[in-house]
Amino acid sequence: MTLDDDIDNLTRIPLFAIFEAAALRNLAFASETRLLRAGDVLFRRGEESDGGYILTMGSVGLATHEDGRPPAHILRPWALIGEMALVAPSTRPVTARAMEPTTVLKIGRAIFHQILEQHPATAARARDFFRERLVDFSRHAASGLASHE
């Protein structure tokens, strides 16, 4: 796969679909490829986050418990894992484990912020993207509370 193919695939992810071409190119160059075997843990619930991961090949199961239950969700390419971890430190809410041989691209938070600093138009779009996510989350949480009253 070529760099141009990677960049085209990145645009399949909603956050990266709004990035300028130069910002996407920087992201593709700056990301770190990680190869996982089936069963390898990408990160564990409760660990401090330091960035996000783009699933490019294979599958990753997300589990809230480590008691042998099957994962709550299984992600397939091209998925972004840890979207909010790109923006701010947090603890991982789930354990992410490779379900088969898997490839991910790691995007460190510092690199993500550096790309936004270098590309102000992309930064403005990302700000609006995350603001909309927070508004949607707030609406969903408020409607959930109202249904329990």
Q: Is 65 left (phi over 0), alpha (psi -120 to 50) or beta?
A: beta
| DSSP at 119 | -
Between strands 60-63 and 79-81, the pairing is unpaired
Q: Which positions ≥6 away from 35 have C-beta within 8 Å?
A: 101, 102, 103
Question: Where along the chain do its domains lie?
Answer: 3-147
The predicted-structure confidence for 76-101, as pLDDT tens digits, reads as follows 999 999 999 999 999 999 999 999 99
Contact in structure between 132 and 83 (CB atoms under 8 Å): no
Q: Is the pTM of this model over 0.85?
A: yes
pLDDT digits (tens, 9 = 90+) for 27-80: 999 999 999 999 999 999 999 999 999 999 999 999 998 887 889 999 999 999
- Please report the pLDDT score of residue 28 as a whole number: 92
The reply to whether CATH 3.40.50.1220 applies to domain 3-147 is: no
